Structures are given as structure tokens and as C-alpha cells.
């Protein structure tokens, strides 16, 4: 085969997994108009070499465009076939996805994946394996679906020292909190609606407890700081403690409560914090108007200043579009040379425990409505060095609700305060304890 | 020199022009911490080979870090020096920038530039020249400064059919309109404030008449649609007709007036519209909250849906960060192989005249306050097929102001209406005539 033939020959793609994203991808690759655009813009042709599925799916295969003859249940065999150039892994989860990705990389085949769980547990090792084999490992779809996030962090901002990344990267929790804010719905009503719309699973814990966002936070932190953060490193708080009343009080104070994934340099910059939690954001913050199932990633760079990348965070076709963009880049590298810079771990940065981080806090609690209670509560806060910036007391019959905004306080001091308050007989219930992020938030702008 | 030596040797950079952006770039390249980050992440070292300036600048050179010994007034000689690998063009304008960029590309040197005027007049030819010589022509800084816009359009969205791009790409006009909306200032007061802050030139016409935005619109359209649009193709309306009252009325109706650069497919998709004008956007549109000197580019893709890329649109350091990102990519390609996909013209698309485009319109006019005037005005609109959706009459002493929102109407029909209204004795003055964009706007979503 002459080099010219080689350049002209199609790049053959193995697709592992054929759910929503996989079938949308296959449809897009087979679409002649899309194929022509790609050939014109990138100088490559893509061909589906095979589609590995776990079990037959008669419904999906019945679609007229679906190439049922390319389907196999032998994923390992497909990855290793000589006529496969690039492997797209859309199975998800750790096993067998990891074995298949490793087999592909070892065989010198570039891999495109959207598997956040895999990347957040073994991203560093896989990046090293890709580098060692001189192939691409691309995963734009893993964070923010079709929103360009991974490539901008990896390439466009290559000359930039990134100080902080704040993402709304989980559409389910953002939908729930947006619905609570916009329509006055309760947490439970909003969750049910998300389930009805297919935005939340029957068991919603991966979303509402922050596991999905933690995996994405690990990927963002690894990209932003060139280090190797895994999901288990990420401090994680779910949104289940946020009540309708908290959303309402926050709005009265000029804030919205958003489910955030935060990765930031702290202090001098050799330490970082990576965490997932709901937080109050000023209503004027660009992330505050990211509502519903939309995602956004807010980036603060030393020279570039503030940036935000915003778009749809869900949907099979959007994710397939991100995968196809990566696939075109990988195919172009195969035919015309080049390699995406490795995003492997290279700097060991220390993770700061959240107890050592400072920020303003929002606290709500229900107390017995009698003289001296506020003094007792304020006394506990004072003992822990937590200084009150603003408070309001709302009558609730025999009880009162106290809402506090604090000045900047150490997370550990606030945790200590809350533990002590729970022991007080006059405190019935401590509700949400939420950080205030955004303009007056945590991080290097104050600590540096 | 062995390949290993070659890989390890620094990539030598010629910097043409040393104003705000150039000097910030030189400072960043010379910063040891930044250099170490770049070497770790991209595997390349950058070295300044020379800095071409038009005339000596004792003030700038007095800075301790400034390498005055590298300065030359012979830009052509510097570009052609054998020890220069990559050329950064930051002179701006067409001449001599174009000759220098062409000389660099012909000599097989990759070029990084932020020169929107050059790209919007000769971008297609320069891209062809870069392709023919197998080198990169990169220009992330040309639109939206440090916001990743060019690379996402060129690479991340390589698998996506882009339907529409709407940008707020001129910080000066966005600052003026934001100030008019936020503080009730007049156009003249807002312009003076922009000039005082260094956001507008003494002669502000390049900004307020839309020339700067038109160049950026041409670049965005060329990238989004893979065609070759030049600034002269772009329909251009300035913001000078927008009065404080228009901003106020728009706000009462739930809109904001924003300076937009629009590139969109129209109808079946082989025709496009590229234009720059102020327009009413629904206050809920993501672009509506892009205020002050911030820039944003809103992208609608067939599969990826809606995306927005947002950030600082101005400032020497932000632009230098974008240039440095490109420089790292070009250097990496030199040392490790690869080439950014060419963004050359490849599809001939027809430009639709604005008279043939449909959208809702906002019109304001001052009329004599007497019976029958509204009937006369409405009659003219009806004769031209312009259907009124909403109107309000406000008394102004002897006069009245009429504010109209129309249903979707052809631009030509509205222009005809306005010409006829100006002939009516009862019409004193036709003020702003503005399109309504956003959710119910122009473009393929309705026309297709």
C-alpha cells in the first residue's frame, strides 16, 4: 500500500457498546452528509469495522440504517482484529471496559471513550499506556457531554496556569435544584419529576450523593493541574440535605444553590482542593443562571481570567457528537501524523482536607422558640471561631428557624460548631450546612 | 543533530510586534515557572529568538526582564533567520503583517497570529499557503481573546454540523450597551466612560460601527461552515442608533439589546447569513447576561445542541495566554509531529442578503400626537406585509413615541416600511430598527 493509498483509505472503527450513545454514533458515522463534511474538513474517512454488544437487541437492530451484520458479542476479538484502527469504548463501568481499553492501547490502537468512572479510577495509568504506545486516549464526552471542555483544558489553555475550575457537571442534581428554585417544588417532588423525565435513575444515589460529579471533578482536576486525582480523593457531599426553605432563603439573600464540582489551587499553589458539594453562588455569578439539565465549567486562569464553557450535559446524540469529534482527531492523527499531548500525571500535588479550607457558610437550624436560645447558639459559634455576618430568625409556631451567613470560617470549625449544636437541648435539628462560593468564595484569590 | 537532541532542543520563536500583547507574551515565555509547566505538559521548550519592533520603546525595554538585546527593527530579516522555528505576528493590520506572515509560511515556519483584520481579508489564502507548506496557521486570539473558540470550532466540533453561531465579540460595544442597560446612562455618556477606561479609541468607529465585529464574524463563519467568508461579505450595522429609551423599553418587554455577530445556515443549509448588528435578546437567553467587556460565543449544533463559550474579551495578558496556547501546540507539532487540521475554504456557500431574512423586529419612532397617526403608521406597515405583534404609545408633550414589536417579517419589508414612514409628515423621526434574536429568532429552526 503506498502512502497515498494509506492516506485515502478509511480509518476503521470498533464500537464497544451500543446503547444510546453508541447507536447515535453509528448513525452519525454512517450518515453520508456527515461523512462528506468530515472528509472535507479533516481529510479522513471513517468506517465501522464492528460493533460489540453484550446481548442482542432486536429493537435497535430493526432500524433500517443499523448494520446488524457488523454486530459481534466478542468485544475482545473485535479490539484485536487487524483491520481495526481505533476503538471507541462506550460500555461504561470498570470491568470489562478497562481490560478492553488496555488491550486496544497495547495493540497500538487509539481509544476514544466517555467512561468517567474508568478515567477517574485509572486515568493516569491509561494515559501512560497510551503514551508508551504512541497512541491517543481521548475522552471529550466524559465531562459535560458535547461541551468542549477536555480539549480546551488540555490544549487551548496549554500556556495558562489554571487557578480554579468550578463545574456544574451533573445534570440530574442541577435539574432538581433548579426546579426547587424556579417552581418552589420540594426536593422529593423534583426528584420524582427528574425520574419521570428519565433524568434520574430509580436509585438516584449516583447522582444525588455526588458520585457521578466526583468522577468528573477528578478528571477536571487532573487536566487542570496536570496531576493524578482519582474519584476516591474527592471530598463528596450530596444534595439531599438541601430543603425547599434553604433554596428560598438563599434567593432572598441574592444567592442560588448549585451542585458544584470544584478543583482549585489553595495557598501557594502546590496544594489543591477537589470536592463536590452544593453551595450558595451569588445570583450574578455566570454559573448561577445555568439551569435545568444544562452543564457548565467555569475556569479561572492566571492570565486568561474567567471563562465559562456551557451547554447540554446529557443526551445520547450530544455525547455521540463529542465522541465523533475525538474520533475525527484520532483518525486524522493516524493518517496525517500527530498525537494529542498526553494528559498523564506528572506533578504530585497535595490535597487539602476540607476541614482546612475557609469560606463563608450558610447554616439553617430549627430551635425551641424561647429566650436565650439565640445567645446559646451564637455562643457555640463564637467558641469555635465562627463569626456571624448575618442572621435571621423566622417563627414556626413553637419553634423558630435560625438562618446564618458566616464570615469566612474553617470547614473544621463549622463542623465542630454543628456537632456541638446538635448536642444542645434547645436545638431540634440542624438543616443544611452549605459553603458560599463565587466572588467571595474559597480559594487562592483570598489565601494567596 | 540526533532526533533526541532535536526533540530536546528549544523551539525558537520570533515575535513580531511588541505592544501590550507582545510584551505580555515575552514575559510569559521567559517566566521559569510557566516554562516548566509547558515542558512538563507538552514536552517542548520555547525560546525567544528575536522581537521585531517598528521603533525603539525605551519605557518598555526598561523593564528588568525585557530582553532588549533580542530586539530588531528588521522584521523581514528576523522571519527569514534560519534559527527561527515559529513566527508570532502581533503587528495587526494588513501591511506589512500579510507579507511577513506569507514569508514565514513560505519558509516552512508555523505562524501564530491574533490579527483578525488579516484573517478576515486573506484567511483562506493564508490557510492554503500554510497547508501547501505543511505548517500550522493558528489564531485562537483573533476571536474572544483567551476564550477557547477557534480550536473548539476547528477540532472539538469536527464531527458536528454547526447550524448557527451568535457571538458577543466586541467588548467596547457590549460595555456601552451594558452600561446603558444597567445604569440608565445615555449612549454618549457610556461611550465617554469606555474611552476613559481605555476600552474605546478616541475615534470609536471601528467598534461602534461594527468593523471589528465584522472581521470576527467572518472568521467565525469560515470556521463554522468550512467556507471562505471575508469581512466585506458581512452585513454590518452599528450601535449608534440605539438610544437609552430603546434599552429601557426592551427591558420592560423582557429583552436586552446586545451587539451580536451572527453566522447561520438559512433554509436548506447551502445558504448562510453572516452579519453584525445590535439585536433584542430575551433576558433568559444565555448571551443576555454577558455584560461589560466580556465576550461570549453561542453555538448551536445539529447533534450537540446549544453551547456557549464565555470569558474576558480584552486585555493584553488574556490575548497573550491564547497566543501562548497556540504557540505550545505549534511547537509540539514541530517536535512531536502532527498538524492542526487546515481551516481553509472548501465549500462555496451562498450568502443571503439581509433583506431576504425573516425575524421579528423592534421599531421606535416619534410622531405628532394627533388622531389618525397610529392608523397611518399601521397602514404603512400593513401595506408592506409587516404584522404588528405588540405596540405601545407613550406621550411626549406634543409628540408621542410609538414602540412596535412585529411578528416575523422580511428585512426588506421592514426597510421598505421605514423608508415610507420617513416620508410621512406626521412621523418626526424613526429611531432604532432592531431585529429580535434568540429563541424566536431568525434562522433555520423556523425556515428549515
**DSSP, residue by residue, B383-405:** HTT--EEEEEEEEETTEEEEEEE
Query: What is the rounded distance in angstroms from the CA atom of residue A68 to the CA atom of residue A53?
Result: 11
Per DSSP, helices labelled H in B274-391 are: 316-336, 373-383
A327:B159 CB<8 A: yes
- Report the candidate in B165, B153, B303 with the shortest Cα–Cα distance to residue A29: B303
Q: Which residues contact B199 (CB under 8 A, 6 or more apart)?
A: B171, B172, B175, B293, B314
Query: Is B6 exposed, middle or buried, given 0-12, 13-18 or 19+ CB atoms closer than 10 A?
Result: exposed
Tell the CATH superfamily of the B150-311 domain: Dihydrodipicolinate Reductase; domain 2 (3.30.360.10)
B28:A303 CB<8 A: yes
What is the pLDDT at residue A2? Answer: 46
What is the pLDDT at residue B343? Answer: 64
Q: Which chain A residues are closer than 8 Å to B332 by Cβ?
A: 341
Grid look-up 445542541 returns B305
Q: Which residues contact B58 (CB under 8 A, 6 or more apart)?
A: none
B306:A311 CB<8 A: yes
SS3 of residue B213 by DSSP: helix
- Report the candidate in A335, A386, A341, A390 with the shortest Cα–Cα distance to residue A359: A386
Parallel/antiparallel/unpaired status of strands A427-436 and A294-301: unpaired
Q: Parse chain A into domains and list their residue ranges.
A: 3-145+316-336, 158-312, 354-447
Q: Over the stretch B232-258, which tens digit does the pLDDT of each residue have? A: 999 999 999 999 999 999 999 999 999
The DSSP letter of residue B43 is S
Q: How many CB atoms lie within 10 A of CB B305?
A: 22
Residue B8 touches chain A, beta carbons under 8 Å: no
List the catalytic residues of A. 216
Tell the CATH superfamily of the A158-312 domain: Dihydrodipicolinate Reductase; domain 2 (3.30.360.10)
Residue A246 touches chain B, beta carbons under 8 Å: no
What is the pLDDT at residue B22? Answer: 94
Residue B337 touches chain A, beta carbons under 8 Å: yes
List all residues of chain B from 397 to 426 with a beta carbon under 8 Å from chain A. Answer: none
- Kindly identify which residue of chain A lies nearest to residue B330, measuring between CA atoms: A155
Q: Which chain A residues are closer than 8 Å to B346 by Cβ?
A: 40-41
Residue A198 touches chain B, beta carbons under 8 Å: no
What is the pLDDT at residue B164? Answer: 96
Tell the CATH superfamily of the A3-145+316-336 domain: NAD(P)-binding Rossmann-like Domain (3.40.50.720)
CA distances from A216 to A168, A170, A262, A351 (A): 10, 9, 10, 17
B158:A328 CB<8 A: yes
- The answer to whether B117 and B231 are in contact (CB under 8 A) is yes
B333:A338 CB<8 A: yes
What is the pLDDT at residue B439? Answer: 62
B311:A304 CB<8 A: yes
List, for chain B, all residue ranges whose pLDDT scores fall below the cut of 70: 1-8, 58, 60-61, 269, 343-346, 439-448
Parallel/antiparallel/unpaired status of strands B427-436 and B271-282: parallel
Name the CATH code of domain B354-447 (choices 1.10.10.350, 3.40.50.880, 3.30.70.260, 3.40.50.2300).
3.30.70.260
Q: Which chain A residues are closer than 8 Å to B156 by Cβ?
A: 140, 148, 151-152, 322, 325
**Per-residue three-class SS string for chain A:** CCHHHHHHCCEEEEEECCCHHHHHHHHHHHCHHHHHHHHHHHCCCEEEEEEECCCCCHHHHCCCCCCHHHEECCHHHHHHCCCCCEEEECCCCCCCHHHHHHHHHHCCCEEEECCHHHHHHHHHHHHHHHHHCCCCEECHHHCCCCCCCHHHHHHHCCCCCEEEEEEECCHHHHHHHHHHHHHCCCHHHHHHHHHHCCCCCCCCHHHHCCHHHHHHHHHHHHHHHCCCCCHHHCEECCCCCCCHHHHHHHHHCCEEEEEEEEEEEECCCCEEEEEEEEEEEECCCHHHHCCCCEEEEEEEECCCEEEEEEEECCCHHHHHHHHHHHHHHHHHHHHHCECCCCCCCCCCCEECCHHHCEECEEEEEEEECCCCHHHHHHHHHHHCCCCEEEEEEEEECCEEEEEEEECCEEHHHHHHHHHHHHHCCCEEEEEEEEEECCCCCCCHHHHC
Query: What is the rounded distance in angstroms from the CA atom of residue A284 to the CA atom of residue B280?
Result: 21
pLDDT tens-digit profile, chain A (448 residues):
444 555 568 999 999 999 999 999 999 999 998 898 888 878 899 999 999 998 877 676 678 888 989 999 999 999 999 999 999 999 999 999 999 999 999 999 999 999 999 999 999 999 999 999 999 999 999 999 999 999 999 888 888 889 999 999 999 999 999 999 999 999 999 999 999 999 999 999 999 999 999 999 999 999 999 889 999 999 999 999 999 999 999 999 999 999 999 999 998 768 999 999 999 999 989 999 999 989 999 999 999 999 999 998 888 899 999 999 999 999 999 988 888 877 655 678 899 999 999 999 999 999 998 888 999 999 999 999 999 999 999 887 888 999 999 999 999 999 999 999 999 999 999 999 999 998 644 333 333 2
Residue A158 touches chain B, beta carbons under 8 Å: yes
Q: Report the C-alpha dihedral over residues B149, B154, B157, B162, rounded to 10 degrees.
A: 80
Name B400's bridge partners. Answer: B367, B395
- Chain B nearest-CA distance from A302, in A, is 9
**Per-residue three-class SS string for A166-181:** EEECCHHHHHHHHHHH
Q: Which of A306, A318, A336 lies closest to B303 in CB terms?
A: A318
What is the pLDDT at residue B412? Answer: 97
- Report the candidate in A217, A207, A145, A215 with the shortest Cα–Cα distance to residue A176: A207
- Chain B nearest-CA distance from A159, in A, is 5
The size of the A-B interface in CB pairs under 8 A is 195
- Chain B nearest-CA distance from A401, in A, is 33
Q: Which residues contact A15 (CB under 8 A, 6 or more apart)?
A: A22, A25, A26, A48, A50, A51, A52, A88, A90
- Report the candidate in B385, B441, B394 with the shortest Cα–Cα distance to residue B414: B385
Query: What is the rounded distance in angstroms from the CA atom of residue A177 to the CA atom of residue A244?
Result: 9
Query: What is the rounded distance in angstroms from the CA atom of residue A145 to the CA atom of residue B149?
Result: 17
What is the pLDDT at residue A3? Answer: 46
- The answer to whether A111 and A140 are in contact (CB under 8 A) is no
What is the pLDDT at residue A445? Answer: 31
Cα A95–A101–A104 angle (5° rounding)? 140
- The answer to whether A114 and A139 are in contact (CB under 8 A) is yes
Q: Which of B156, B159, B310 lies closest to A310 in CB terms?
A: B310
The DSSP letter of residue B232 is G
Helix crossing, B373-383 with B411-423: angle to 10°?
Answer: 140
List all residues of chain B from 272 to 301 with a beta carbon under 8 Å from chain A. Answer: 286, 289, 301
Residue B336 touches chain A, beta carbons under 8 Å: yes
The DSSP letter of residue B341 is P
B304:A155 CB<8 A: no
Q: Which chain A residues are closer than 8 Å to B329 by Cβ?
A: 155, 158
The DSSP letter of residue B28 is H
Amino acid at each position: 500500500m503506498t502512502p497515498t493509498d494509506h492516506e485515502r483509505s478509511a480509518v476503521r472503527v470498533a464500537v464497544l457498546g451500543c446503547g444510546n450513545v453508541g447507536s447515535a454514533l453509528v448513525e452519525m458515522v454512517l450518515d453520508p452528509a456527515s461523512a462528506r463534511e468530515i472528509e472535507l474538513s479533516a481529510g479522513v474517512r471513517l468506517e465501522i469495522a464492528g460493533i460489540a454488544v453484550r446481548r442482542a437487541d432486536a429493537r435497535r437492530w430493526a432500524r433500517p440504517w443499523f448494520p446488524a451484520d457488523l454486530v459481534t458479542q466478542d468485544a475482545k476479538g473485535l479490539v484485536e482484529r487487524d483491520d481495526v484502527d481505533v476503538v471507541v469504548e462506550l460500555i461504561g463501568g470498570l470491568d470489562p471496559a478497562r481490560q478492553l481499553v488496555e488491550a486496544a492501547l497495547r495493540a497500538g490502537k487509539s481509544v476514544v471513550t466517555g467512561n468517567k468512572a474508568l478515567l477517574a479510577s485509572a486515568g493516569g495509568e491509561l494515559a501512560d499506556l497510551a503514551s508508551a504506545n504512541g497512541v491517543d486516549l481521548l475522552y471529550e464526552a466524559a465531562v459535560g457531554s458535547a461541551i468542549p471542555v477536555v480539549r480546551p483544558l488540555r490544549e487551548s489553555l496549554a500556556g495558562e496556569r489554571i487557578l480554579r475550575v468550578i463545574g456544574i457537571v451533573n445534570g440530574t442534581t442541577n435539574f432538581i435544584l433548579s426546579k426547587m428554585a424556579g417552581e418552589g417544588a420540594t426536593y422529593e417532588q423534583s426528584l420524582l419529576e427528574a425520574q419521570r423525565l428519565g433524568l434520574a435513575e430509580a436509585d438516584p444515589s449516583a447522582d444525588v450523593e455526588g458520585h457521578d460529579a466526583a468522577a468528573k471533578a477528578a478528571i477536571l482536576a487532573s487536566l487542570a493541574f496536570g496531576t493524578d486525582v482519582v474519584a476516591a480523593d474527592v471530598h463528596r457531599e450530596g444534595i439531599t440535605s438541601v430543603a425547599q426553605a434553604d433554596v428560598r432563603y438563599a434567593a432572598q439573600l441574592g444567592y442560588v444553590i448549585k451542585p458544584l464540582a470544584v478543583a482549585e489551587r489553595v495557598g501557594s499553589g502546590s496544594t489543591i482542593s477537589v470536592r463536590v458539594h452544593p453551595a450558595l453562588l451569588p445570583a450574578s455569578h455566570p454559573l448561577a443562571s445555568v439551569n435545568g439539565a444544562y452543564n457548565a465549567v467555569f475556569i479561572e486562569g492566571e492570565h486568561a481570567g474567567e471563562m465559562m464553557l456551557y451547554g447540554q450535559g446529557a443526551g445520547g446524540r450530544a455525547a455521540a457528537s463529542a465522541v465523533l469529534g475525538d474520533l475525527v482527531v484520532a483518525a486524522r492523527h493516524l493518517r496525517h501524523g500527530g498525537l494529542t499531548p498526553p494528559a498523564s500525571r506528572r506533578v504530585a500535588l497535595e490535597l487539602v482536607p476540607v476541614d482546612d479550607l475557609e469560606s463563608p457558610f450558610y447554616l439553617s437550624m430549627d430551635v425551641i422558640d424561647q429566650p436565650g436560645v439565640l445567645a446559646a447558639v451564637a455562643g457555640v459559634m463564637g467558641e469555635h471561631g465562627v463569626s456571624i455576618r448575618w442572621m435571621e430568625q423566622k417563627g414556626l409556631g413553637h419553634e423558630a428557624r435560625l438562618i446564618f451567613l458566616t464570615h469566612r470560617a474553617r470547614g473544621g470549625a463549622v463542623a465542630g460548631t454543628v456537632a456541638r449544636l446538635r448536642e444542645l437541648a434547645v436545638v431540634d435539628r440542624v438543616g443544611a450546612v452549605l459553603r458560599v462560593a463565587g466572588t467571595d468564595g474559597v480559594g487562592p484569590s483570598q489565601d494567596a
